Structure 1
């Protein structure tokens, strides 16, 4: 299985989503040799975000549910749309990457191969997230998706908006699924935050996107130098501070709050 669902408490509405933490590669038409591939993984992997999510879940009084991608985003990126027309496609980084972080050719163009990869990895992943969201809605009347990512302190060549602020914590939002209270609580995680810079948006299953406002979502993009040695070194003490803060956020959003209809039915 290319992903893992780690069960949480039956009464928790929170789903931690960790899509880019893995360095695991399977046969998928990648062209670079070992050294070049390692370089791509060093720069594009959201290293240790699975560790942050796991430790945060341990801190939460009501354990959240977690979906973790166990394959590298270089195999298939589960956060892209399958018929992606957004700007990432222009730099060769749609659902199946053809180019790497600095424009390196990763794959030859092959629509049949890409469709096979989508069928094997992308669509089952999306279905699992959609089902997990439905289960949280059925159990609690709401679902709160916290999308856990990281990004480098220095912009990579592929970034389309790398000239904007690069705070310690970037909060990616969606106009239909990110309530103000969720943003306010997330800002308490760190004293250096910004909205949608350098990365914008957050993951919502297509079955729920713009259809079900009981689903709240927020992307947490942590600047890597806050918790690790870049580009692929060990974690620092910041990792435990972040995990504890995320655990506090999970606890805060789990509690019902009648002032905000998105986060509370």
Structure 2
């Protein structure tokens, strides 16, 4: 099983729906390095997984007039988190959540502190990063630009790992980057989703490092959806809110065409 999947969209689409945190799959060889028992691990996955976001992106793609591309992580973020900086500049290292997590959402031990992240980075992180870089490069070659829409969700109440959990928790939080989020993209997201907030409780957005801060043809926006608006927390089934959100995400995709 590949750790990620790129689903082709229309050749003329510049949009990539990126879904990095929707999966629960954690291979046995990775579980072996995790100190939680099976019950505790499943409970942690309930809290940390952006449940149903892959389905959300799929539904939105079906509803879009020009089908976007979709890049979906098929392994849980407890394997590696493909959106973290793999070096010392990652602020989430302060709570044991760099590219390879050593702490849980409740700041309990997930892996020993002396865990060597190298093997997991080599096997999972770097191939994912290369594939996402290639996907963006292909959109640039085909259309002259690439728009990465990062599809996430977050809990209605702060979890202990959050570094900025004291701020507003709107139904939809838009994470932006001063270089890669142009005003038109932000305005389109506001129009599509309605009630939104900016960069609280989570900020920033994902751009492959080859383009990050360098290529203005790559634009990006993070869409963080508060989980109580579409599912039962934590880790429960989706509700009717998922359809409404898929329509909103499709409207955003269509506005970028």
- TM-score (normalizing by structure 2): 0.97
> Paired residues, what number?
253
Partner in structure 2 of residue 62 of structure 1: 66
The residue number in structure 1 matching 2:142 is: 139
Within-5 A mapping of 1:52-201: 52-112=56-116, 114-201=117-204
8 A contact 2:193–2:249 mirrored in 1: no
Match of 2:34 in 1: 30
TM superposition shift of 1:86: 2.7
Shift of the alpha carbon at 1:110? Answer: 3.9
Write out per-residue CA displacement over residues 52-72 of structure 1, whole angstroms, 9 at most, x where no aligned residue.
000000011111111000000
| Distance (whole Å) between structure 2 residues aligned to residue 5 and residue 85 of structure 1 | 28
Provide the residue aligned with 1:214 in structure 2.
217
Deviates more, 1:150-159 or 1:187-196: 187-196
8 Å CA contact retained: 1:169, 1:190: yes
TM-score of the superposition, structure 1-length normalised?
A: 0.94
Tell me how far 1:188 sits from its aligned partner. Answer: 1.7
Is 1:43 the counterpart of 2:47 in the alignment? yes
Structure 1: give runs of 5+ residues left out of the alignment: 255-265
Contact 1:155/1:162 (8 A) holds in 2: yes
CA distance in 2 between counterparts of 1:175 and 1:208 reads 14
Residue 30 of structure 1 and its aligned partner are, at CA, apart by 1.1
2:105 & 2:206 partners in 1: Cα distance?
Answer: 21
| 2:227 pairs with 1:224 | yes
**3-state SS of 2:174 partner:** strand
CA-based RMSD: 0.9
